[in-house]
Amino acid sequence: MIKDKREVARRGEAAAIPTAWEYAPAPESREIVHFEDRYGLYIGGQFLEPLSNERYTTIDPAREEPLAEIAQAGKADVDRAVKAAREAYAERWSQLRPSERAKYLFRIARILQERSREFAVVESLNGGKPIRESRDVDLPLAAAHFFYYAGWADKLEYAFPNRTPRPIGVAGQIIPWNFPLLMLAWKIAPALAAGNTVVLKPAETTPLSALLFCDVVRQAELPPGVVNIVTGDGRTGAELVSHPDVDKIAFTGSTEVGKAIQRTLAGSGKRLTLELGGKAANIIFDDAPLDQAVEGIINGIYFNQGHVCCAGSRLFVEESIYETVISKLKRRMKTLRVGDPLDKNTDVGAINSKQQLDKIGSLVQSGIDEGAEIYQPPCKLPERGYWFVPTVFTNVAQSYRIAQEEIFGPVLSVLTFRTPDEAIEKANNTPYGLSAGVWTEKGSRILAMAQKLRAGVVWANTYNRFDPASPFGGYKESGFGREGGRHGLEPYVALDGS
């Protein structure tokens, strides 16, 4: 810290060192949310006690306080859910006129909008993300996905001209804890629009918004069994993957589990889409608008505590502007407020789980041990809960673990380059290929870079922008298949000749 102040002082900027302003707390009220003490499994339109008789406690990671008892679904429970989904598929959902399916999806979208404050609080309480983000990003985007796919439901033949799209049946969907409701929307909206029914398993640490979503399903009067929610950990996920009567698996999560799922499904004829990890390059050229680029770097890595598969976790700075960018970045980092996710002033909330906090801690330690230089702004952290100070590493070599592995936390590794070709080569030197960012004022350079970067999404002069109309997905170990846009319908339809 002191060392850094001297550095800034040398440049004559000492008087301008910003620190986080002292704001009065502005907590969002949690009164709007009512949790049951314990939840069952949502199967065939009702909450059922788990046949497994197993439960666990879900907590608020910012306070380490219990929120509710959650069912750990076993094999027989998963079987019940798949049967309910199969029956609803055969008897109701696949028989409905597409315009009728659209009506239900529009209803769900509108109810999500109406209840967005309640959902935002649940998402921040159970997941640790700042209320500003759940309110302004997760909820509007989740509703937008339902609106978007509602629009496609009766226009599928235009999405696939001359191909006669048909639904495929029951989809098993497994989602992670970083965007619980948004990932649910990404999975459920296209599946239902195309006429399939679903069994969805939320992540074990963040089941509450999916369980509250069951109430939205009820309010929208969706036929029973079209949406089924089974809670539990990886064992429940594995049961869903290996269930013989599931036609398709959609998974978002770690590359390790994605590979295991692919092995299980090999030769089964079941369809599979995988959205896995990333180690994205955010590339800053010397002609970039630097203040905007610094905002993009901050948003790229500290948004949602860095629990983002497409996070801009490797920063590539053109050598000639390295000093300027790093000093601007450090100054900006000092203004980040870390703390209570329910406080409307908070920029960086709680780490989702103890397990994830330990993983971040050990990778950061490896960075220090391998010889990178660490910087963390001064920061008062709450006494209880899981927290990690926004961190940046400089003097990083390509071979360090912090430049290779997905940290999935608020930790940035900075590297440099001299030419566009070097930037491309270094950026592509990763087993992943989910996303990338390019900052330059030259349009032709943006296009040239975007063509050569092996990444599913390339943002230009912005970062972490999402839109339901835009497909999202990866190359290489980041997975395959696309979610969002017309492309996102494809995994959920059978086409003539497929």
Give the binding site for ligand NAI (CB under 6 A). 174-176, 178, 201, 203-204, 233-234, 237-238, 241, 252-254, 257, 260-261, 275-277, 309, 356, 359, 406, 408
CB of 70 to ligand NAI, least distance (A): 12
Residue 98 or 471 with smaller CB distance to ligand NAI: 471
- Identify whether 310 is a catalytic site residue: no
Shortest reach from residue 276's CB to ligand NAI, in Å: 5
Q: How far apart are CA 172 and CA 243, in angstroms?
A: 9
Task: Report CA-CA distances (Å) from 107 to 102, 103, 104, 189, 221.
Answer: 9, 6, 5, 12, 9
- Annotated catalytic residue within 275, 318, 483, 490: 275
Other residues' Cβ atoms within 10 Å of the Cβ of residue 314: 27
- 110: its two tokens: 């509108």
Q: Torsion angle, CA of 483/309/401/452, rounded to 10 degrees?
A: 50
Residue of closest CB approach to ligand NAI:
237
Choice between 201 and 330, CB closer to ligand NAI: 201
State the nearest-atom distance from the C-beta of 375 to ligand NAI, in Å. Answer: 22
78/120 with CB nearer ligand NAI: 78
Give the integer Cα–Cα distance in Å for 422 and 452.
12
Among candidate residues 156, 75, 434, the one with its CA nearest the CA of residue 281: 434
Rg value, the chain, Cα: 23
Shortest CB 331 distance to ligand NAI, Å: 29
Show the tokens assigned to 331.
């100054």
Nearer CB in complex with ligand NAI: 218/259: 259
Known catalytic residue at 323: no
CA torsion 88→91→97→99, rounded to 10°?
A: -10
Task: Judge contact between 314 and 281, C-beta under 8 A.
Answer: yes
For residue 311, the minimal CB distance to ligand NAI (Å) is 10
Catalytic residue selected from 214, 309, 310, 379: 309
Least distance to ligand NAI, CB of residue 201, Å: 6
Q: Which residues contact 425 (CB under 8 A, 6 or more apart)?
A: none
Q: Residue 118 or residue 275: which is nearer to ligand NAI going by CB?
A: 275
Amino acid at the residue 51? L
Cβ contact 460:448 at 8 Å: no
Pick the closer one to ligand NAI by CB: 196 or 356. Answer: 356
How many other C-beta atoms can be found within 10 angstroms of the C-beta atom of residue 368?
12
The residue behind tokens 């996102």 is: 488
CB of 406 to ligand NAI, least distance (A): 4
Element (H, E) at 397: none
**Do β-strands 411-417 and 46-48 pair in parallel, antiparallel, or remain unpaired?**
unpaired
- Cα 327 to Cα 8, 272, 293, 379, 380: the distances in Å are 7, 45, 13, 18, 22
Q: Residue 41 forms beta bridges with which residues?
A: 48
Catalytic residue positions?
A: 275, 309
